């Protein structure tokens, strides 16, 4: 159950950013040996967005962040904390400060957090702790990835899945004992790290004399789809059930389940395990594909924009992916 002696943490604004260029399944069929008839039944995806080369993950992140701040009615200068969940930073030293500068959030401390497709859930959980302890008052969490730049476009097993996008939420500390974030459950298991990776290979090169040095080289996304599916359909319902139990809320009382958009068959399997109605589970896979950590706030932003989810509604965010990592957050939307 929530700790009623600590300040509450509320999600008060959400925004999304998706590039305009669209890559359809028919387009992909001209690149690799595949077709809409092969992709759609297996994934639920018909198209995905591709960020133009002249733009970066920082541009996407800043666009989503501005939309979230506008909805929350909060100025960038009022932020205390900015977390960027990404696996495709433009700078391996970190891209969050660049997003901070683009927004003009001069008071906010900014840093990156990497947990792949679970990154948004982990980042919201991290930001919530800063707010709940009273150290900060307002936080912005952005999840953004440009996975089109990390895909092997000759590998039909992975290139059909991923798209580019960003999503953001604004978090605000509230009164002690009030609703907001009701429970958090996070998990990781490094024994499964080889099932899904975006690795850095090391190449040995001579430096001077007999001394050699290792040099990093980026590798494309590698995934064992069958094993990731088996992991997800087992782990995700369990972590959601534990988060709901901790919050003291039955599954049927939740208006919206915002689960990482990796594969429609996974969403269907999770819904069946939890005995959910179709209308409770958000799905934006058909139009956007797998946008990594951004998929959860993108789905949330779409539902709120359509009036399907709003102030006072109960929601569950659940992420899963590389690491292996997974987690769930139960929340009531709004102040």
* Residue-wise DSSP of 145-190: EEGGGTS-TT-HHHHTTB-EEEEEEEEEEEEET-SSEEEEEEEE-G
Please tell me the chain's helix, strand, coil percentages from 3-state DSSP, rounded to the nearest 5.
40, 30, 30
Note whether residue 209 is domain-resident: no
Q: Is residue 204 part of a domain?
A: no
Residue 1, pLDDT score = 46
Q: What pLDDT is stored for residue 4 in this prediction?
A: 57
Does pLDDT of 226 surpass 70?
yes
* 170 plus 24 within the same structural domain: yes
> pTM score, two decimals?
0.94
Peptide bond into 324 cis (omega under 30): yes
99, 61 Cβ separation under 8 angstroms: yes
- Which amino acids are annotated catalytic? 117, 260, 290
Cα–Cα distance measured from residue 14 to residue 11, given in angstroms and rounded to the nearest whole number: 8
Residue 142 is part of which domain span?
7-176
- 17 and 113 assigned to the same domain: yes
Q: Would residue 205 count as lying in a domain?
A: no
> What is the rounded CA–CA span in Å between residue 203 and residue 44?
38
Strands (E), 189-321: 196-197, 200-208, 211-218, 222-223, 256-259, 314-321
For residues 284 and 169, membership in a common domain is answered with no
Asked if residue 165 is part of any domain, the answer here is yes
Please tell me whether residues 227 and 271 are part of one structural domain.
yes
Is the pLDDT at 216 greater than 90? The verdict is no
Confidence of residue 5 (pLDDT cuts 50, 70, 90): low
130, 82 Cβ separation under 8 angstroms: no
Residues 117 and 27 in one domain: yes
SS3 assignment, position 80: coil
Specify the pLDDT at position 3: 52
> 325 has which bridge partners?
188, 321
């Amino acid at each position: 159950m929530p700790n009623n002696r600590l300040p509450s943490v509320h999600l008060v604004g959400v925004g999304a950013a998706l590039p305009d260029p669209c890559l359809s399944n028919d387009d992909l069929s001209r690149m690799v040996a595949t077709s809409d008839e092969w992709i759609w039944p297996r994934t639920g995806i018909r198209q995905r967005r591709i960020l133009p080369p002249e733009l970066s993950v920082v541009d996407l992140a800043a666009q989503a962040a501005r939309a979230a701040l506008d909805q929350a009615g909060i100025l960038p200068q009022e932020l205390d904390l900015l977390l960027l969940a990404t696996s495709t930073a433009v700078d391996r030293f970190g891209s969050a400060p660049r997003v901070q500068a683009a927004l003009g959030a001069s008071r906010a401390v900014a840093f990156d957090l990497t947990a792949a497709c679970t990154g948004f859930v982990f980042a919201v959980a991290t930001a919530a702790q800063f707010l709940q302890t009273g150290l900060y008052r307002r936080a912005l969490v952005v999840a953004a990835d440009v996975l089109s730049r990390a895909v092997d476009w000759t590998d039909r097993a992975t290139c059909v899945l991923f798209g580019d996008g960003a999503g953001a939420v604004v978090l605000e500390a509230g009164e002690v004992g009030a609703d907001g974030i009701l429970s958090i459950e996070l998990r990781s298991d490094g024994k499964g790290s080889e099932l899904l990776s975006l690795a850095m290979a090391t190449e040995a090169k001579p430096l001077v004399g007999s001394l050699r040095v290792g040099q990093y080289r980026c590798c494309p996304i590698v995934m064992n789809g069958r094993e990731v599916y088996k992991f997800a359909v087992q782990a995700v319902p369990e972590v959601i059930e534990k988060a709901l139990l901790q919050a003291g809320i039955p599954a049927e009382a939740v208006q919206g389940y915002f689960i990482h958009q990796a594969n429609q068959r996974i969403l269907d399997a999770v819904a069946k395990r939890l005995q959910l109605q179709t209308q409770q589970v958000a799905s934006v896979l058909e139009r956007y594909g797998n946008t990594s950590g951004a998929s959860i706030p993108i789905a949330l932003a779409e539902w709120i924009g359509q009036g399907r989810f709003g102030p006072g509604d109960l929601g569950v965010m659940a992420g899963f992916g590389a690491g292996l990592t997974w987690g769930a957050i139960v929340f009531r939307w709004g102040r």
